[in-house]
Amino acid sequence: MRFTWADWCLSLFKLIASIFFALFYVQSVSAHEFVATIIKINDGDTLTALVNNENTKIRLLDVDCYETKKNKRAKFQQKYYGLSVDEVLEKGKQSRKILKQLLKDHRYIRVEWDKRDSFGRILGNVYLDDIKSAGVIDVNQYMLNQGGCNKYIPSSVLKKSKEKK
């Protein structure tokens, strides 16, 4: 049996399709790294993604964006940063808008993580493959540099430092 040009092209197409499937559709890469489908941007430092067929909240590790809703953390940010609650909420909306803009042309993210927070969210470093630049975007670092976010410091640590002053 002779291999024709069409047969060769079909075999190559199947190989490329298999590699594409393995890279983009296999959800779990390892226990601490996975590829997920973006579902929703919750705020500047949290998003919801499809992980192993479950909607899972992912929080950007070591990133603290301002809150988008009045809650205990927003009140804390108000006092700590010397802002009004409205300023905190406005900064939070801006951060969410920046994250949405960054992710708007992307469907998949890669997440490296090793723990969950007290709310059950995965705490991780999120990466995007940027086809335009043939590189990788570190979403956490992007939000610290461009998104109006701060390096995360737990409230308990901040409260102790305030008490010492």
Q: Would you state the pLDDT for residue 27?
A: 46
Please report the DSSP string for 73-134 in residue order.
HHHHHHHHHT--HHHHHHHHHHHHHHHHHHHTT--EEEEEEEEE-TTS-EEEEEEEEETTTT
Supply the DSSP symbol for 1. -
pLDDT one digit per residue (tens) for the chain, 165 residues: 576 877 766 777 666 755 655 555 444 444 589 999 999 999 999 999 999 999 999 999 999 999 999 999 999 899 989 999 999 999 999 999 999 999 998 899 999 998 999 999 999 999 998 777 778 999 999 999 998 899 998 767 766 655 555
Please name each of the domains of the chain with its CATH number.
30-164 (2.40.50.90)
For residue 137, list its beta bridge partners: 128
pTM: 0.75
Q: Would you state the pLDDT for residue 26?
A: 45
Q: Tokens for 98?
A: 């920046």
What letters, b where the CB count within 10 A reaches 16 and e where it falls short, cover 84-107?
eeeebbebbebbbebbeebbeeee
Q: Report which secondary-structure segment, H or E, holds 8.
A: helix 5-24
